A and B are shown apart, each in its own frame.
Chain A
Amino acid sequence: MNLIIFAGIMGVVMMFGGLLMKQKHQATLLATVLVLLLLAGNTWEMLHGPIFSIQAPHMLATSRFGLLINEILLAAGLLYLLVSGRDIEKVGNYVAEYYALIFFIFAGIGISTAYTNLLMLFLGIEIISIPLYILTGADKRNLKSIEAALKYFLMGSFSTGIMLMGIALIYGGTGSFLLEKFSLQGAPISYNLVAGLLLILVAMAFKVSAAPFHFWTPDVYDGAPTVFTSFMATIVKVAGFIAFIRLFEGASGIIAGKWQWVIAIIISLTLLIGNITAVFQQSVKRMLAYSSIAQAGFMMFALFSMNNWGREGIVLYAAAYCLATIGIFAVLTKMDDYTYQGFNGFARREPMLAVALAVMVLSLAGIPLTVGFFSKYYMVASAVAAGFGGKFLWLLVLAMLCAAVSVYYYFRVIQAMYFKEAEQPQSALPVSAGFRYLVAGAALVVVLLGILPQWLLQFLYF
């Protein structure tokens, strides 16, 4: 829970620090150090307890699950700043402000992983969303970026409105904002409650870009400056999922049966739309946008089955998805050409980065020996363990076939890098050796977690 306060303070520090700093890379340096501090603070809290405890009964409650997710997201954030810091500097002149916004988002993430009250959920989601609207439009000389920001803002506020309506209805149904009030088995079911839950479901599905509420995603991801797309598509998206899961963790009891069908339909739509549309993309950036929809479909399995397997699965998924996507985006931002052709002959140009990218792409496709395999494995296993293997077998088969479809578009990157030659020989990317080692290191983590996933999962329990 310390994360919320520290991240808020650091956001302010960053903002005023911007006034003092003359050079952009100073801001990057400061931000990196601050994220490192946040990470250290959160690690301390996870291992030894909070640095100072805050009493917020009926509002926030820390849990190991939430802390571990914070830890993963902060680590992903650190990686993100290290590999993409230079690109953030290139977006515009207000670098310190961008970083400040990122810290505010982390504060929002802290709330979304710890809330026990619907009002706090609303606050958390809004604190995450509003800085994102700004970051999307950060490149203000680019019309596409502005259009994306406006679109995102309009759609986002619409979904926020729906969420508020849902919260109000739930309040009407249960007389309380507390999660536990509607999660208890014996809670009386009323139309208000069910309608409210459905509305929140819609709003949250919008936030995590699950079909059929995904329409904003490709345009916004494509229009936003690529560095911020990376942030949005990974860290923020996972945080949204955690909020989603916390919300319905207990609620499944009262609406079991029908509930599974609603989620199953959302999952199948998300998987189908995400994967099939991604096949037809020519730009890697847009492909990644659709792939993020497709991956959201898999993450929804945690909501579908609501058991421990699902929680472990989402932890692995958070790590797998963040590592791989941040890595790919980091390289992508350095490229001039975002199409698949841009990657032609990449293996000759950048042998080490090519291997790292190949590992990350394999991980996204869910090939064994990468953590991506285990994240998908846990998702399917969670559904089977929850006893849906019989009734919802079709959903599992569909999900797996979609995973096979995803191989098609992920492997196009590998094909371009390794089996096609560039038309004219290109020089190496303008990146430092440190960047290469960082991305390769991230790929190594992907492989290590792919052999021993329990190394990460043990933190859930010990």
Chain B
Amino acid sequence: MILSSFILIPLIAGLLAFFIKQDQLVKGWSLLAALATLAAVLYSFTMPAAAEGLSYSRIWLGSLNSHFSLLLDGPARVTTLLTAVSFVIIFIAIFKNSYADASQYFGLMLLSMAGLMGVFLASDALLFYFFWELALIPVYFLCSKWGGERRVPVTFKFFIYTFVGSVIMLIGIIYLYSKTPDQSFSWASFKQAALTAKEQAFFFWFFFVAFAIKMPVFPFHTWQPDAYETAPVGTTMVLSGVMVKMGLFAVLRWLLPVFPQMSDKMGGFIIVLAIIGILYASLIAIRQDNIKRLIAYSSIAHIGLMAASLFVKNDMAYQGALIQFFNHGINIIGLWIVVDIIERQTGISKMSELGGLAQQAPRLAIMLVVVALANIALPLTNAFIGEFLMFSGLYQQNVWYAVVAGIAIILAAVYTLGMIQKVFFGQRNEAVQVADLQTAQWLALAIIIVLIIAAGVYPKPLLELGGSLVKTIPLAVAP
């Protein structure tokens, strides 16, 4: 029951939020709902669980043999925690921002949170598909209504991209369902689906494409920079911090265990794709002048590394990727908060027009530097542990993977430090005025920095949260 509350709290709170007319009240209400969800998530970690995790199941569609079944295993613990923490931070960070029709904005945000929680918990394929789409619909409305210029076409491109991916996946789900031994959608039966080699080869891609578009991995990434740039910043944080994890998480739960042979066979190819993506995105990020696009491309690079690590399938890479799920989400939300502050005050998102902001806003500069260092994965920041483990995992698989992907660390330093330098130091643009942090933003950034340093110095609790690979996907380990 505690698991359904992860979904129900934001869902009900979101529906109620539509009817709250005062702006301040609805903001407080959303924050409260997010905090309540976070409390539920934290409480669930203390509960005694079976070997594979906490689970909950009820019959939903009897004739289809589909259940409302939820499972909180290692990866799900990390991602649900990420979702809950992120939404709390996001609601704090945008507390002072004003929105037209605030009740609708926050209602939709909470609905997307419910959808995300559902995706991370569902252990029934049909239910998973349901939530997969449900997380998307509120985001579509959020981006199209409150986004920047060209928001309608850009969001539409994003929507169509992901929708094509998901309908293709739906065919895969239906087909696998017909091949399961007991005609059921449950995760356990999907893992036992009897597929011929040819069917595996086909349907592996049906699933992978949907997930790859969501992540996004290299050739499917074209919607992402535009969407991040135009979406309202609160939603961009959701998109980049939490929603991209849907694709990665789905690989862990629905791809690797369900298609063990195919993912072994295709693993190498996908890792190569991901590594190409890492380098490609890093190189483009260096050339960007727009801060938002820079962060978007840097995110593609980071996601690419995580995607590659998932397909390496050794314990080290797996654990690294899992804690990076969490840490990348926190870091990128931190970056967006800073960008939002700058853009809201100056109306500029081009680095060439900014400069010397550190003199005006020293606290903001310090905060950004810490977050940026975490983005480069410097030791003592949270991302270091994750990236270190992932690179070690890649190294064990194939030295060249680690070497080539390792170049990305250098490139990340180039573009991130370049950004700090151009925005906060260097020639000051006299026309640009920036006030230092306000309380709400200060609080949000402070939480992020505490998380960055805490996880960087003492990552053990996070690592334990994820559990080990063998426990999560026993079938996926090559014999």
A residues within 8 Å of B by Cβ?
312, 362, 367-369, 373, 377, 380-381, 384-385, 389-390, 393, 396-397, 400-401, 403-404, 407-408, 411, 415, 418-420, 452-454, 457
Contact = CB atoms under 8 A, between A and B. Distances in A.
B170 A380 contact: yes
A400 B171 contact: yes
A400 B130 contact: no
B198 to A, nearest CB: 8
B388 interface: no
B163 A407 contact: yes
A418 B145 contact: yes
B159 interface: yes
Chain B interface helix/strand/loop/mixed:
helix
Interface stretch (B133-141, B243-251, B339-347, B469-477): B133-141
Interface in B34-91: 61-63
A404 B177 CA distance: 22
B272 to A, nearest CB: 26
Contact of B171 (A380, A390, A420): A380
A369 B167 contact: no
Contacts of B145: 418-419
Nearest to A415: B152
B160 interface: yes
11 contacts: A362-B137, A368-B129, A369-B130, A380-B170, A384-B171, A384-B174, A389-B174, A389-B175, A396-B171, A419-B144, A452-B61
Contacts of A401: 164, 167
Contact of A454 (B63, B129, B170, B174): B63
A418 B134 contact: no
B144 A415 contact: yes
B156 to A, nearest CB: 7
Contacts of A380: 170-171, 174
Contact of A400 (B129, B133, B168, B178): B168
Contact of A367 (B62, B133, B156): B133
Contact of A377 (B137, B170, B202): B170
Contacts of B164: 401, 404
Contacts of A453: 61
A420 B202 CA distance: 41
Nearest to B156: A411
Given A368-B129, A400-B168, A454-B61, A411 B174 contact: no
A419 B152 CA distance: 7
A404 B167 contact: yes
B159 A407 contact: yes
B151 interface: yes
B167 A403 contact: yes
A362 B141 CA distance: 12
Interface string B413-453: 00000000000000000000000000000000000000000
A415 B154 CA distance: 12
Contacts of A377: 170, 174
Contacts of B63: 312, 454, 457
Shortest beta-carbon contacts, A-B, top 4: A400-B167, A368-B133, A368-B130, A404-B164
Given A367-B133, A369-B130, A418-B144, A408 B178 contact: no
Contacts of A367: 133, 137
A369 B60 CA distance: 13
A452 B130 CA distance: 13
A393 B160 contact: no
Nearest to A358: B141
A171 to B, nearest CB: 39
Nearest to A411: B156
Contacts of B174: 377, 380-381, 384, 389
A453 B156 CA distance: 29
Interface of B: 61-63, 129-130, 133-134, 137, 141, 144-145, 151-152, 156, 159-160, 163-164, 167-168, 170-171, 174-175, 177-178, 199, 202
A389 B141 CA distance: 35
Nearest to B169: A400
Contacts of A385: 178
A384 B129 contact: no
Nearest to A380: B174
Contacts of A408: 156, 160
A397 B202 CA distance: 12
A454 B63 CA distance: 7
Contacts of B178: 381, 384-385, 389
Given A404-B167, A415-B156, 18 more contacts: A367-B137, A368-B130, A369-B133, A380-B171, A381-B178, A384-B175, A384-B178, A385-B178, A389-B174, A390-B199, A393-B171, A400-B168, A400-B170, A401-B164, A415-B144, A418-B145, A452-B61, A454-B62
Nearest to A457: B63
A79 B144 CA distance: 32
B61 to A, nearest CB: 6
A368 B138 CA distance: 13
Contacts of B151: 419
Nearest to A450: B130
Nearest to A383: B174
Nearest to B175: A389
Nearest to B202: A393
Most chain B Cβ neighbours within 10 Å, of A368, A397, A403: A368
B296 to A, nearest CB: 22
Contacts of B167: 400-401, 403-404
Contacts of A373: 133
Contacts of A368: 129-130, 133-134
Contacts of A418: 141, 144-145
Contacts of B152: 415, 419-420
Contact of B160 (A381, A384, A407): A407
A415 B163 CA distance: 17
A345 to B, nearest CB: 13
A411 B129 CA distance: 20
B64 to A, nearest CB: 8
A95 to B, nearest CB: 40
B309 to A, nearest CB: 31
Contacts of B163: 404, 407
A408 B156 CA distance: 8
B91 to A, nearest CB: 23
Contacts of A457: 63
Contacts of B61: 452-454
Nearest to A412: B156
A393 B170 CA distance: 13
Contacts of B141: 418
A452 B167 CA distance: 21
A298 B168 CA distance: 16
A369 B177 CA distance: 20
B82 to A, nearest CB: 24
A460 to B, nearest CB: 10
Contacts of B168: 397, 400
A132 to B, nearest CB: 34
Contacts of A397: 168, 171
A418 B199 CA distance: 43
A174 to B, nearest CB: 35
A397 B163 CA distance: 13
A177 B45 CA distance: 69
Contacts of B159: 407, 411
A100 B159 CA distance: 46
B158 to A, nearest CB: 12
A103 B202 CA distance: 51
A315 B322 CA distance: 44
Contacts of A411: 156, 159
Contacts of B177: 381, 384
A384 B170 CA distance: 12
A377 B170 CA distance: 8
Contacts of A393: 171, 202
Contacts of A415: 144, 152, 156
Contacts of A381: 174, 177-178
A453 B60 CA distance: 10
A315 B22 CA distance: 44
